[in-house]
Amino acid sequence: MRRRVITALAFIPVLLAVAWFGNPWLSIVVAFAALLGAFEFYKLANAAGWQPFTILGIAFVLLFILNAHSPDVRTTPFLISGVVILSLIRLLWCADKGKAFTNWAWTIGGIFYIGWTMSHFILLRGLEDGRSWVMLILLVTFASDTSAFFVGRAWGRKRMVPAISPGKTWEGAVGGVAGAMIAVVILEGVGANLFVLNRIGHGGLILLGFLISIFAQLGDLAGSMLKRTAGVKEAGKLIPGHGGLLDRLDSLIFTVVLVYYYVVWIVG
């Protein structure tokens, strides 16, 4: 527990500073995190007994991050087409034909799960008020995760999905939602000069806090399912007290996609 708290206190200010100052620091951190996250993802596949095309997968993950700096109606479909076609061509050299399809599925899954989703950090930061939106994601997601953890630890009784994540409880889930909604209220009170969030109104901000918590917890459960499939408890040991980088990215991966399309489609 102590290592978990110390690590969080060390990393959160750094991430917020990166979000605040933007590029090139944001691009460097996102690319590095995507690289390590993809490596951990493909290690999970190896632990499950499969042989994904790791080098090809990591290359495309980084290409998605690079493409986010200048997204185009032509380059993104071209990149997606390249993922499908080149991975299928690579499939022809798969030594174990009985595992070929699953190896291909893990490769494709890693590219889109890590590369496509994390590219939304770059896309979101590039929008109007992008700094505020990225910081909102980080702070509210961390508030949700932290609240869910401590409420579940103190009062959790009813297990949510014990077959996937035995530690998750309904009480913790409710605590996570409450923590996220309290966080957005606090951020709203900071003032529009720092967090330009008044464009969606008080009700819209509360709704967004609720949705961020729900998506963060779903992302966490999806990550747990992948680890359960691989037969491991953690994706890695990179972050003391937290496991691997993918163990911390799983909730952010879902929330950054949610907020990006919320801003583009609803806020406008």
Q: What is the pLDDT of residue 4?
A: 57
Q: What is the pLDDT of residues 38-70, one digit of tens each?
A: 999 999 999 889 999 999 999 999 999 999 987
Query: How confident is the model at residue 96, as a pLDDT?
Result: 83
Position 243 scores a pLDDT of 67
pLDDT at site 148: 93
Contact 41, 246 (CB under 8 A): yes
Query: What is the per-residue DSSP string for 170-206?
Result: HHHHHHHHHHHHHHHHHHHHH-TTT---GGGHHHHHH
Q: Closest Cα partner for 19 from 140, 122, 145?
A: 122
Q: In the prediction, which pLDDT does 73 show?
A: 64
> What digits encode the pLDDT tens for the residues 102-118?
999 999 999 999 999 99
Q: Per-residue confidence at 245, pLDDT binned at 50, 70, 90?
A: confident
Q: How many angstroms separate the CA atoms of 236 and 244, rounded? A: 4
Q: State the pLDDT at residue 20.
A: 87
Residues near 180 by beta carbon (within 8 Å), at least 6 away in sequence: 140, 141, 143, 144, 147, 209, 210, 212, 213, 216
> In this predicted structure, what is the pLDDT of residue 80?
94
Q: 111 or 20: which carries more pLDDT confidence?
A: 111
Identify any residues that bridge with 161 across adjacent strands, giving them in sequence order. Answer: 165
> What pLDDT was estimated at residue 188?
76
Of 266, 263, 265, which is closest to residue 126 (Cα–Cα)?
A: 263
123-144 mean pLDDT: 92
For the cut 90, the answer to whether the pLDDT of residue 128 exceeds it is no
Work out the angle at residue 89's Cα, subtended by the Cα atoms of residues 83 and 91, and round it to the nearest 5 degrees. 100
Which whole number is the average pLDDT over 153-164?
91
Round to whole Å and give the CA distance between 64 and 80: 9
Whether the pLDDT of residue 26 is over 90: the answer is: yes
d(CA 97, CA 25): 43
The count of domains in the chain is: 1
Residue 134 amino acid letter: V
What are the φ/ψ torsions at residue 128 (nearest 5 degrees)? -60, 135
Number of neighbouring beta carbons within 10 Å of residue 109 = 16
9: pLDDT strictly greater than 70: no
Q: Cβ–Cβ contacts within 10 Å for residue 165, how many?
A: 18
Token pair for 18: 């990166």
Kindly indicate the confidence band of residue 71, based on its pLDDT and cuts at 50, 70 and 90. low
Domain range for 234: 2-267
pLDDT at 212: 97
Angle at 242 between CA 236 and CA 246, to 5 degrees: 50
Q: pLDDT-based confidence at 98, cuts 50/70/90?
A: confident
pLDDT digit string, tens, across residues 164-214? 888 899 999 999 999 999 998 888 777 555 555 666 777 888 899 999 999
Q: Model pTM?
A: 0.91
